[in-house]
Chains A and B, each alone.
Chain A
Amino acid sequence: MVRAVPVWLRLAGVVFVVLTALVLLAPLIVVVGVSISESQFIAFPPNGLSLRWYEAVLSSDAYLGAGWISLQIAALVTVLATLVGGAAAIAIHRRQLPFSELLATAFLSPLVLPTIIYAIGMLMFWSAAFGTVTPMVLALSHTVIALPYVVRTTLAVLSEADPFLEEAARTMGANRLQRLWLVVVPQCLPGLAAGAFFAFNISFDEAVLSLFLRGPTLTTLPVQIYGQLEFSPDPSVAAVSTIMIALTIALIAIIERMLGLNRFASA
């Protein structure tokens, strides 16, 4: 069958794959390239090799402060979104709540709602009702847009599970709490872990909400990068972006390994 594919079509396939990879990876290559440049200016290919911009980033209070805020918010969002999203997914999966279809749609709606509309609404609502935006508010709004990912990954895992496990646990004497903790949550774990990873990533590089809900003491890393790029562009922007790329790849590797191990252990 495969041999029947004409040569020109196979060539076209190769070209298509290479082009796609190029479009996906070229920006990253440029960012990494610029970050190791000697030059004062953002230029590609880099002029000379140096790690001076990494040094600049790591000794900059602005970057470090913003990075620290981003990390704290992302950690909080990860916990909140995983707890709320996981609980929501379990409830939706059981279909015993009234309007559970409606609830499912509500929990997934941030995926289709333009973030900028939500950001404007959140800013207006919060300022009118409570005044100054706090880090907690930003974390809450990040949680809202991260929720659908946790709900979806958890629902996906639950839909593959044996629907009789809980009933079986009941006949073995497990009460409500024991069933939740010893049967339902362990089944959800791979979905929760994947959802937590998405939640962290979404919060960590979210720019629209962070831009609208920023304050003098509330600047996340993406907002800091954006400001730097707008007002005094230099390769430090590329250096900090490269660090973010590295962090994301490391996270993916960890999660892949954990989920892979988990799947292997229960396989």
Chain B
Amino acid sequence: MAKVRLHSIRKSFNKTGVLHGISLEIASGEFVSLLGASGCGKTTLLRIVAGLEGVTQGSVEIDGRDVTDLPPEKRDVAMMFQSYALLPHLSVAENVRFPLRMRRIGNRDEQAEKVRAALETVQLAHLAERKPRQLSGGQQQRVALARAIVSRPKVLLLDEPLSNLDARLREDMQVELIEMHQRLGLTTIFVTHDQEEALSLSDRIVLLNAGHIEQEGTPGQIYGQPATAFASNFIGSANLLPVQIVDGPDGPLARFGDGQDLALARDEPTRGAATVALRQEDLTLAETGSGPTVKVRTRVFLGARNRYVMTLAGQTIRALTGNDVDFADGQEVTLAIDPSRVRVIHE
């Protein structure tokens, strides 16, 4: 367990900037997610913490010590790769023992005991003698996790560890990761492009966009108060619509391009050109009402929910509803949303 400090990290590959001055402090025992779309630099940042990638500028501190120039084998970190990177010629137990062997932690008996304990943590003790290729994807993933935690590294780095699993297994592993983090308290940096994964696992989310930090905060903050249009769109994939904010008889109104109005919270200070962020799950649809009228283009059946794709003032707008809400394609419906759930972003 240790805290990690990244100080204005810049990274370029062949003069193409990938990270543009990232500063981040991670507390001891904290679970931080680096969230972002592919190409945002999140994996590069993780590899810089591991030491697999150098920095163009800036410094990395682990446990108060500057490790910027230290190779990965001399940093006390463990990294779990997206491909799991299990050594195919070694048994499961030998794979898990590998970091103990390399770092000379304990004698043979102590190592065997640690390996057994780590495998029990991931419930794979019974497969210790198998070769990696004899295991399913989910089992391989657990072996990789056991191997990452066996030496109790100062920092645990996870690079999209759940992305190769099917949906069901992914949910199970999320729960296991949370429980394991609670039990071991390892400082953990988790890279993902999946907002739900980040929201459900993290103490703190760092949202990355094109090599800089777009927003950081607790899952509640990131979800409830997205600071920018990018954050609103990325988390919860909100509808972003351009509006003019005007004063109405009962308080401010957001006026869409076609002249329709949407009521805003009374204390909304912004006036003039702005963008409203409307979360898909906050919108409700009705046959009649006081809200703006939209035209249904398509309904997508998602099982427990329906997603309606509609047109409002020439823009596409999406809403998630219960699966009992039933409108036909081409039908005109009215939108309603709690004014306090409308986020106004003025550029």
Binding site for B on A (CB under 8 A): 161-162, 164-165, 167-175, 178, 182-183, 186-187, 189, 265-267
Contact = CB atoms under 8 A, between A and B. Distances in A.
B52 A187 contact: no
Contacts of A168: 79, 81, 85, 87
Interface of B: 50-52, 71-74, 77-79, 81, 83, 85, 87-89, 98-99, 102-103, 131, 133-134, 147, 151, 157
B88 A173 contact: no
B207 to A, nearest CB: 25
Central interface residue in B52, B71, B73, B103, by most chain A CB within 10 Å:
B73
B241 to A, nearest CB: 43
A171 B144 CA distance: 13
A164 B131 contact: no
Given A178-B102, A266-B133, A267-B133, A173 B85 contact: no
B89 A173 contact: no
Given A174-B73, A175-B73, A169 B98 contact: yes
B89 A187 contact: yes
Nearest to A172: B99
8 contacts: A169-B98, A171-B51, A171-B78, A172-B73, A172-B98, A173-B74, A182-B98, A265-B131
A171 B131 contact: no
Given A162-B83, A164-B83, A174-B73, A266 B89 contact: yes
Given A170-B52, A170-B71, A171-B78, 5 more contacts: A164-B85, A168-B81, A174-B73, A266-B88, A266-B131
Contacts of B89: 186-187, 189, 266
Nearest to B53: A167
A37 to B, nearest CB: 50
Contacts of A178: 102
Q: What DSSP secondary structure best describes chain A's contact surface?
A: helix
A265 B130 CA distance: 9
A173 B133 contact: no
Given A183-B87, A187-B88, A265-B131, A173 B73 contact: yes
A267 B134 CA distance: 6
Contacts of B151: 172-173
B134 A171 contact: no
Contacts of A172: 73, 78, 98-99, 102-103, 147, 151
A186 B157 CA distance: 26
Central interface residue in A169, A173, A174, by most chain B CB within 10 Å:
A173
Contacts of B74: 173
A182 B72 CA distance: 17
Contacts of A169: 87, 98, 102
B131 A165 contact: no
A171 B52 contact: yes
A160 to B, nearest CB: 10
A168 B85 CA distance: 6
B4 to A, nearest CB: 15
Nearest to B81: A164
A113 to B, nearest CB: 35
B20 to A, nearest CB: 25
Central interface residue in A165, A168, A170, A187, by most chain B CB within 10 Å:
A168
Contacts of B73: 170-175
B150 to A, nearest CB: 10
A172 B148 CA distance: 8
A21 B5 CA distance: 70
B315 to A, nearest CB: 43
B281 to A, nearest CB: 37
A173 B99 contact: yes
Contacts of A267: 131, 133-134
Contacts of B147: 172
A172 B103 CA distance: 7
Given A183-B87, A187-B88, A187-B89, A174 B102 contact: yes
Nearest to A186: B89
Nearest to A175: B73
Given A172-B147, A173-B73, A186-B89, A167 B52 contact: yes
Contacts of B51: 170-171
A171 B50 contact: yes
B73 to A, nearest CB: 5
A68 to B, nearest CB: 36
Contacts of B81: 164, 167-168
A169 B99 CA distance: 8
Contacts of B71: 170
A189 B88 CA distance: 12
A174 B71 CA distance: 11
Contacts of A183: 87
B133 A171 contact: no
Nearest to A174: B102
A174 B85 CA distance: 14
Contacts of B79: 168, 171
B13 to A, nearest CB: 15
Contacts of B87: 165, 168-169, 182-183, 186
Given A164-B83, A267-B133, A171 B77 contact: yes
